[in-house]
Amino acid sequence: MVEPTWLLTGAAVSAVLGFGWLALAMDTHWEQVHGDAAPPPSLARALRLAGALALAASLGLCLGADHPTMAVLVWLMLLAGGAVAIAATLSWQPRWLRALWPRRVAAQ
């Protein structure tokens, strides 16, 4: 049985990553981070899928750490924290998010 602290750390990281990917899927934020024009639709879809899966994984990790009634609350609050973290990063240091999904060289 994995130590709850590790599970919850994983859940927090997963929430931040998930929202990071969901943000990158949006044109304005992709431009903020990478400086180029919007990503192609297939890439945006992939980012949204990755984001959703990461948020779901976060819930799974929370459920591993606590009684279900508490796990759900922890998850919802981690989502709030994760979203704020990504919004703050986009506002102050958008380049830090480059690592989340390195720029694909344009097809041409």
Q: Report the alpha-carbon angle 80-43-34, nearest 5.
A: 70
Instruction: Specify whether the CB–CB gap between 18 and 85 falls below 8 A.
Output: no
- CB nearer to another protein: give 37 or 77: 77
- CB nearer to another protein: give 5 or 108: 5
Could you give the CA distance from residue 17 to residue 52 in angstroms, rounded to a whole number?
10
Binding site for another protein (CB under 8 A): 8, 19, 23, 26, 28-29, 66-67, 69-70, 73-74, 76-81, 83-84, 86-88, 90-92
- CB nearer to another protein: give 41 or 106: 41
Shortest approach of another protein to residue 107 CB, angstroms? 26
